Amino acid sequence: MSTAIIVFAKAPVPGLAKTRLAPSLGEAGAAALAERMLRHALAQATAADVGPVELCAAPDATHPALLAAAAEHGARLTEQGTGDLGLRMHRALTRSLMRHGRALLIGTDAPALDADVLRQAASALQEHDAVFVPVLDGGYALVGQRRADPRWFSDMRWSHDRVMDETRERLRAAGVRWAELPPVADIDEPLDLVHVPTGWLDGLEISSRIREQQP
């Protein structure tokens, strides 16, 4: 049974993508890093080889970088549509699960989500209703389902340090069997740039303090 992988991404437009990194990278630099992370996420989703890959984009699917990235990796290109993050994720998962037995949804902000982690997540859905990869700041970088269920998406407050905790509370209340893989770092704030893989920031203007902490 195949496991579809949905990659959620914003178009890498200056002033729209990774805006919280702009104080260190500038708007253009933040957008350039966003595009690099987008291509990495698609490459890992393709390399996992567990099922079809979909690039689900915002605010629409017309940006040339999105078109090029989807074509390069053979990904289906769709739009996230309207609504808050929870509604958009639930809609994308529901659509995918109508065609495939299982589905994973990831963002592009966690470079450590490699093909091996994605294969582990797909495998976890053989025995669990859902799977998550938490992030170190309290949210999650991956959610997977084998049947569409809106209960841990609806009316959720996003972008705070208890998103995963509140999700666990909802899962327990619903009697859902879920798996969690080891947490990863995501790249949201300037101090998170220390988790960017070596070489990804070459050519971008960043503070010397952050560059000195690069691995």
pLDDT, the chain, mean: 93
* Per-residue model confidence (pLDDT) at position 206: 55
Residue 176, pLDDT > 50, answer: yes
Residue 66, pLDDT > 90, answer: yes
Residue 173, pLDDT > 70, answer: yes
Q: What band does 1 get if pLDDT is binned at 50, 70 and 90?
A: confident
Residue 108, pLDDT > 80, answer: yes
Secondary structure of residue 3 in the 3-state scheme:
strand
Residues whose CB falls within 8 Å of the CB of residue 113, separated by 6 or more in sequence, listed in order: 41, 44, 106, 133, 141, 142, 184
* Per-residue model confidence (pLDDT) at position 207: 42
Q: What band does 209 get if pLDDT is binned at 50, 70 and 90?
A: very low
What are the residue ranges spanned by the domains of the chain? Answer: 3-212
Cα distance between residue 163 and residue 204, in whole Å: 31
Cα distance between residue 8 and residue 66, in whole Å: 11
- Residues present in the chain in total: 215
pLDDT in tens, 155-164: 999 989 999 9
Cα distance between residue 198 and residue 204, in whole Å: 13
How many other C-beta atoms are found inside a 10 Å radius of the C-beta of residue 96?
A: 25
* Mean pLDDT in residue range 17-37: 93
* Per-residue model confidence (pLDDT) at position 178: 98
* Per-residue model confidence (pLDDT) at position 162: 96
Give the ranges where 49-189 is alpha helix by DSSP (H): 64-73, 85-97, 115-124, 163-174
* Per-residue model confidence (pLDDT) at position 215: 46
Q: Return the higher-pLDDT residue of 209 and 48.
A: 48
Residue 73, pLDDT > 90, answer: yes
CA-based radius of gyration for the chain: 17
Q: What is the pTM of this model?
A: 0.93
- In the chain, the percentage of residues whose pLDDT exceeds 70 is 95
Residue 125, pLDDT > 90, answer: yes
CA-based nearest residue to 92, from 2, 181, 4: 4
Q: Return the higher-pLDDT residue of 1 and 143.
A: 143
Q: What is the CATH number of domain 3-212?
A: 3.90.550.10
* Per-residue model confidence (pLDDT) at position 205: 60
Residue 94, pLDDT > 70, answer: yes
